[in-house]
Structure 1
Amino acid sequence: MSTVPVRAEEIHGSLWLASQLARGRGRVLDTGYPALSSELPGGGWPVGGLVDLLVQQAGVGELRLLQPALSSAADRPMAFVQPPHNPNGLGLSYIGLPIDKILRVDSKSTADALWSAEQILRAGSCGALVFWTQYAQASSLRRLHLAAQSSETLFIMVRPLAAAQDSSPALLRLALKPSADGLTVDIVKRRGPSRTEPLSISLQPTPVLLSRHARLSRRSLAEVAARSIPTELVA
């Protein structure tokens, strides 16, 4: 009696062979960089789950890397939680991210920032959430990942490179380092085989996107975005 081989993903969408990239049935957003997309399960940034970007320091180019995906999600508000500097309206508009779509959330403590991020994910009103933080406990990461799973939000956490040594429930973890013409990207974790060679991603020069000296609109970002976000998120 002969048997017909069955592929892992035919048994369940969350299964994959370690030698192959997971196909996954979840939604993804194109990265805009073919060399990167070809190395990611599903061919893009996963939506509805935690994605870790690990950086030497905030502002190395993470927003430029995310720009194509953020632009495609800009039909809904985007949340920036604890950005390292003020969003520069002119710079963001230059790369196609309208300032009136961005909700900026600054918190007095990490606990408040984590709470804010969780509420934004559970509300499901934002197309994307980028959260910069120096530290988050494993239990907090699990809560946020669980909240993201019930949303259609691109959820990115930007954390220190040293966090690569810690466990994370993230679907995807990338380590970003600046290079002469953009970024060097190491794939720390993905659903599929490990990759030892880093990727070289060229980024187009842009105006400053986040700056200590950026000038904001007279209306706060939170006030503009409040039309689409529950008021308790921007209080």
Structure 2
Amino acid sequence: MAALPKHVESIHPSLWRGSQLARAYGKTVDTGYAALSAELPGGGWPLGALVELLVQQPGIGEMRLMRPALARVAQQGQQAQRARRPVVLLQAPHVPNALAFSYLGVPLDKLMWLRASKTADALWCAERVLQAGSCGALLFWQQHIRSEALRRLHLAAQATETLLILVRPLASAQDASPATLRLGVRPAEGGIAVDVIKRRGPNRTEPLTVTLQPSPILLSPHGRVRRHSLVPAFAGGVQTEVVASV
């Protein structure tokens, strides 16, 4: 029997050795953290795929973790001089702070906040955003989601170059998921601890510590002031609010 080639991806892009990280056969966005990127196939967040961040609780640093990627996604749209590719926040647990997102490097005119009163409406909205193909990134917070809904999101993402991040509770790690990448996120001194729950490559048993820089805006005396205006519009049970500077 002939020996397998060193990189079995040359046979088919969906194949990889269990002892090696898979080579990304799609586009990726650098995480901005060298230690984390080194643990991900392709060296970054995959585009056109479902990525899950499983957090111990909202607000422990997941947005600062995504900061470099979100800034790159927004800047790429500007450099290419294409139509605007906004960053969409769907079912965010807190009201977005315009000053904080300015620090994240996301232009305010590219930030869209979507809320839905029902889970079904939120899932419908997520699919429509992906099918439109006009977003650079979609961050979707959801407590409970069925496996068939996960598959629909994953399939919808595959037809795009959108960075799709689904933020779920850490307890969801026990559930099966079609996501290409699943990371558990817990607070740690100076940043967060990242557990690689699922990736195309070998298992990693030790958590990875990622140091996060505190936001100078949030630490300032004016960090608690909401400096944004919201322009709501309603369609199909979904409220759209475009965050704009005052």
The aligned residue for residue 16 of structure 1 is 16
The reply to whether residue 28 of structure 1 matches residue 37 of structure 2 is no
In structure 1, C-alpha distance between the alignment counterparts of 2:62 and 2:130, rounded to whole Å:
20
Match of 2:226 in 1: 215
Cα-to-partner distance string for 1:6-41 (whole Å, 9 max, x where unaligned):
231110111100110000210000000000000000
143, 153, 158: which is aligned to 1:149? Answer: 158
What residue is the counterpart of 2:174 in the other structure? Answer: 165
CA distance in 1, matches of 2:100, 2:240: 23
State the TM-score, normalizing by the size of structure 1. Answer: 0.89
Equivalents in 1 of 2:96, 2:218: separation in Å? 9
Write out aligned runs for 1:45-84 (5 A).
45-74=45-74, 75=77, 76-84=85-93
2:188 aligned residue: 179
Q: Percent identity?
A: 55
* Amino acid aligned to 2:228: S
Change beyond 3 A, Cα 1:153–1:113? same
- Give the corresponding residue for 2:121: 112
SS in 2 for 1:106: strand
Q: How far has the Cα of 1:100 moved from its partner?
A: 1.7
Question: Which residue of 2 is the match for residue 41 of structure 1?
Answer: 41
CA distance in 1, matches of 2:91, 2:230: 18
Rounded Cα–Cα distance in structure 1 between residues aligned with 2:44 and 2:225: 31
Alpha-carbon distance in structure 1 between the residues aligned to 2:100 and 2:165: 20
SS in 2 for 1:157: strand
CA contact (8 A) 2:70 2:104 kept: no
The residue that corresponds to 1:139 in the other structure is 148
1:128, distance to aligned residue in structure 2 (A): 0.2
Query: Is the 2:195–2:206 contact (alpha carbons within 8 Å) kept by the matching residues of 1?
Result: yes
Is the Cα–Cα contact under 8 Å of residues 116 and 239 in structure 2 kept in the other structure?
no
- For 2:47, the aligned partner's letter is V
2:101 corresponds to which residue?
92
Residue 3 of structure 1 deviates from its aligned partner by 5.2
- Matching residue of 1:228: none
